[in-house]
Chains A and B, each alone.
Chain A
């Protein structure tokens, strides 16, 4: 064949193939810097333990939900029931969990099971029922929301303080340990057959099938994982807020998608990293704080979030185009 062409170094490949992820991390860094600067401007000191703790506690539920959403989006689908599942589990946690290790372990397992069950429902309807994910999860969102309200008709309930300390300790940023755990689990996931099959399906479902990937069960599995992550997110949310509310999860559906998009994951599937989504979750959380310290009228908060979301995506598209042309 033809002569050997010069090979690019592994690092060049990594950079070129991971531009969206790197952009997301860069965005995170930029947000942190802006936040620190604004904070200093207001409080005349750099953010400390308290700030780090509250930011990570606030970001963690979103990060967990975004990770689940990432897995579904990677297969080319979408999960609109994330918020509904979070509604259910944060209500369940607030209502049923008592201050004893046995109760906490039991109900944590129940939460995971609920998430798996909801995910299984979504997955079966999509894979075997052959329905579009956006429509299935739109319907299950409604169902989950209804179930949540039945469990906890008005905000209330009480999450045991020791549980809160374990998950989202209000005194120390231990939430970051969970973030590290998510990243670790993701790196492992990417190296498993199941993880590869998720990417394969998102690339080209037919090709994946031709290569022997069990597309049906992989899609179901993706939704089950997302369900479990959403359920855990709801549990963490209850821990942070120390109480329950059957509607607080609702906003997380669209913000989890925003976090995934900011994280550089392609909405068409097949490309992206949950690490980016976690970064995206933190960026969104930092954004709220940035707006606060920039003394932006809180009524305008959504405006800036919207501009930011669109701006970040435009930037990714433009940089991607430029890089493609240059290489």
Chain B
């Protein structure tokens, strides 16, 4: 039987293409923005967009890990919100308390992820249900314990050192962006060149076969949900360090955006394909889109509609499933 080799034999190029498309989309949006609203393409403006995108990118990182193995994390909103509130009430605006508050909050995120992962991996609870329930639990706990954000310490600010790190600049680049760049490098390397990444892709493509090849699938699953929880919590810390105070509902937009960023970036929603570079591009594209619309003084409802339409357009471009034989 004659075996002709086709381009499909070499999958990496498909993934590379998707990342390129995603970045191209982001750049296109900046160009459109500059045309429609001069000044949008200025250095400062781009930096602003990138900083906001980094917040989405942070949450999307955790979401990406979980989606890569075929799961999803719907607990992002209130893990983020709860972490933000826990942080300001623990740090109380004091630098000296950073070493206490930051680990505390990150451990909280890890713990919630642990519960999520355990439910999904060991109790076979569908991820949608487990993380949805967890979101409700976090919402109740956060609202209840903080008494609706009316507790005395709830209005605290983030400690000044952190505010400086996030808002300050090094070599003219915002600290937040440097942090994000570091994360991008580490995560991309981890996914592409470590045994950890190899296991993730194997599980995402075929969990059963991976289990029978000796990989402890359940442990990896739990670990990934823990990472997602940690990243949501980290985002909470960074958001308050950026903006100052915690508020109720601050985490809500990040659920939609984290999933959209991941998908726009070429990660397959059922798992097994994708990387963080694409997710980064997806986050930038999304935030750039919103910024362009905001700059146009587009009213609320218009933004919603265009958001959805653009997402559909991008999905139709390259999010389509195989035709069924």
Seen from chain A, the residues whose Cβ lies within 8 Å of a Cβ on chain B are: 78, 125, 129-132, 134-136, 138-150, 153, 205-206, 209, 254, 257-258, 261, 267-268, 297, 299-307, 309-310, 313-314, 317
Contact = CB atoms under 8 A, between A and B. Distances in A.
A306 B135 contact: yes
Contact of A254 (B132, B140, B270, B307): B132
B141 interface: yes
A135 B137 contact: no
What secondary structure prevails in chain A residues at the interface with B?
A: helix
Ranked 7 nearest A-B pairs via Cβ: A303-B140, A306-B136, A146-B304, A142-B308, A146-B305, A143-B308, A306-B137
Nearest to B256: A138
Contact of A257 (B128, B148, B315): B128
B301 A149 contact: yes
Contacts of A304: 140
Given A142-B307, A303-B141, A317-B125, A135 B315 contact: yes
B137 to A, nearest CB: 4
> Among A145, A205, A206, which residue has the most Cβ atoms of chain B within 10 A?
A145
A230 to B, nearest CB: 16
B132 A143 contact: no
Nearest to A137: B308
Interface stretch (B27-35, B56-64, B176-184, B317-325): B317-325
Contact of A307 (B133, B256, B301, B305): B133
Contact of B143 (A145, A299, A310): A299
B305 A305 contact: no
A146 B129 contact: no
A305 B140 contact: yes
B136 A138 contact: no
Given A135-B315, A139-B308, A306-B135, A267 B128 contact: yes
Contact of B133 (A78, A132, A306): A306
Interface string B208-234: 000000000000000000000000000
Given A142-B308, A206-B324, A317-B125, A136 B315 contact: yes
A314 B125 contact: yes
B313 to A, nearest CB: 9
Interface in B264-315: 269-270, 300-309, 311-312, 315
Interface string B31-56: 00000000000000000000000000
B110 interface: no
A131 B132 contact: no
A140 B308 CA distance: 6
B316 interface: yes
> Among A125, A138, A141, which residue has the most Cβ atoms of chain B within 10 A?
A138
B119 A303 contact: no
Given A142-B305, A268-B126, 12 more contacts: A78-B128, A142-B307, A143-B305, A146-B308, A147-B301, A149-B301, A150-B301, A257-B128, A302-B136, A303-B136, A304-B140, A307-B133
B8 interface: no
Contact of A302 (B74, B139, B303): B139
Interface residues of B, number: 49
Contact of A130 (B125, B148, B312, B320): B320
B320 A129 contact: yes
A205 B306 CA distance: 33
A142 to B, nearest CB: 3
Contacts of B74: 254
A229 to B, nearest CB: 20
Contact of B315 (A131, A147, A258, A310): A131
A144 B315 CA distance: 18
Nearest to A258: B132
B279 to A, nearest CB: 15
A316 B283 CA distance: 38
A268 B315 CA distance: 23
B71 to A, nearest CB: 12
B320 A135 contact: no
B300 A267 contact: no
Nearest to A149: B301
B85 to A, nearest CB: 13
A310 B74 CA distance: 13
Given A131-B315, A146-B303, A310-B129, A141 B135 contact: no
Contacts of A205: 324
A309 B136 contact: yes
A310 B144 contact: no
B123 to A, nearest CB: 6
B147 interface: yes
Contacts of A305: 133, 136, 140
A146 B311 contact: no
A313 B136 contact: no
16 contacts: A129-B320, A130-B322, A131-B320, A135-B311, A139-B311, A143-B304, A143-B309, A146-B300, A146-B301, A146-B302, A146-B303, A146-B305, A258-B132, A303-B136, A305-B136, A313-B125
Contact of B305 (A147, A254, A313): A147
